């Protein structure tokens, strides 16, 4: 049943992505509203899918790549919907929904990696907190990267002096820079706490904090990229183009952490 709900959610996300693109191209507010409703309905199906999975397995959603990547997509959409509600703008959906759909596709493709049970050494509140904090930290980075990409596109439009005619109706550079900074400020401490809990649990379960695990390595790379960006913004006043470029570059590390690790390599993480 959880898979049926998962695919229903994916279908609504696909419809929403199309509507967001139409809204971006035509500037028709109705299309943006339809896209938001489609995203909301898909999000409800997605929530029911995850709840059904928890009820079926009787444990946290950290047993396999399908569960973790699906939860990651859910977290991205939750944060995006909150941002949309706060900003009252539908424009970001054309950039966030494709990334969420990519995560849903990766989750569907990773079903072959299902594991029936978790390693007993990994069960407990530490694992739950580690996984959920890392998921929401990286989800916030996705929002920051989407804002960074929109910033670069808007800057290019303004520099080309095509302020009229066929230009994308994106938010102002100041608004996009603020969205990126807020998302970064949310994501970095969450990922930091999640990684600390993971290191502590690894030390007690496997006798070592750094195990050269592919997901652990890519999480560290992601942490370094966005930590460098946050430090530069705070200490050196980095804003605008440089911050947007580094934020977008960091997205590759996020996607590899959640989608590419199990394709190219295997490690200690069941998820």
pLDDT 10s digits, 213-270: 667 787 888 889 999 998 888 887 778 888 888 888 888 888 877 665 554 445 555 5
What value does the mean pLDDT of the chain take? 82
Tokens of 170: 């994106």
For residues 143 and 108, what is the distance between their CA atoms, to the nearest angstrom?
Answer: 22
Residues, the chain: 271
For residue 76, what is the enclosing H or E element? helix 65-87
Instruction: Yes or no: say if 210 and 216 are a contact pair by the CB < 8 Å rule.
Output: yes
Q: Reply yes or no on whether the pLDDT at 197 is more than 90.
A: no
For residues 121 and 113, what is the distance between their CA atoms, to the nearest angstrom?
Answer: 20
Instruction: Yes or no: say if 259 and 103 are a contact pair by the CB < 8 Å rule.
Output: yes
Q: Give the residue-averaged pLDDT of 109-127.
A: 60
- Report pTM: 0.86
Q: Where are the domains of the chain?
A: 2-114+122-264
State residue 212's pLDDT score.
62
For residues 48 and 44, what is the distance between their CA atoms, to the nearest angstrom?
Answer: 6
Q: Give the residue-averaged pLDDT of 30-50.
A: 95
State residue 139's pLDDT score.
94
- Please state, as a whole number, how many other Cβ atoms lie within 10 Å of the Cβ of residue 261: 21
Percent of the chain with pLDDT strictly greater than 90: 38
């Amino acid at each position: 049943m959880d898979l049926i709900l998962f695919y229903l959610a994916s279908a609504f996300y696909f419809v929403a992505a199309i509507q967001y693109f139409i809204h971006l191209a035509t500037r028709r507010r109705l299309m943006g509203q339809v896209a938001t409703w489609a995203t909301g309905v898909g999000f409800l199906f997605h929530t029911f899918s995850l709840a059904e999975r928890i009820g079926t397995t009787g444990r946290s959603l950290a047993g396999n790549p399908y569960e973790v990547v699906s939860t990651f997509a859910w977290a991205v959409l939750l944060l995006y919907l909150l941002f949309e509600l706060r900003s009252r703008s539908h424009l970001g959906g054309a950039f966030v929904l494709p990334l969420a759909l990519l995560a849903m596709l990766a989750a569907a493709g990773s079903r072959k990696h299902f594991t029936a049970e978790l390693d007993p050494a990994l069960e407990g509140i530490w694992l739950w907190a580690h996984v959920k904090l890392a998921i929401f930290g990286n989800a916030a980075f996705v929002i920051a990267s989407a804002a960074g990409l929109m910033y670069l596109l808007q800057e290019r439009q303004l520099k080309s002096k095509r302020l009229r005619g066929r230009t994308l109706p994106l938010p102002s550079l100041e608004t996009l820079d603020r969205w990126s900074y807020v998302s970064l400020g949310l994501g970095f401490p969450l990922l930091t706490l999640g990684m600390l809990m993971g290191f502590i649990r690894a030390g007690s379960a496997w006798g070592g904090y750094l195990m050269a695990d592919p997901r652990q390595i890519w999480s560290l790379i992601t942490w370094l990229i966005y930590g460098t960006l946050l430090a530069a913004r705070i200490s050196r006043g980095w804003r605008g183009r440089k911050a947007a470029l580094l934020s977008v570059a960091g997205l590759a590390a996020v996607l590899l952490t959640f989608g590419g690790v199990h394709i190219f390599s295997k490690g200690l993480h069941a998820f």
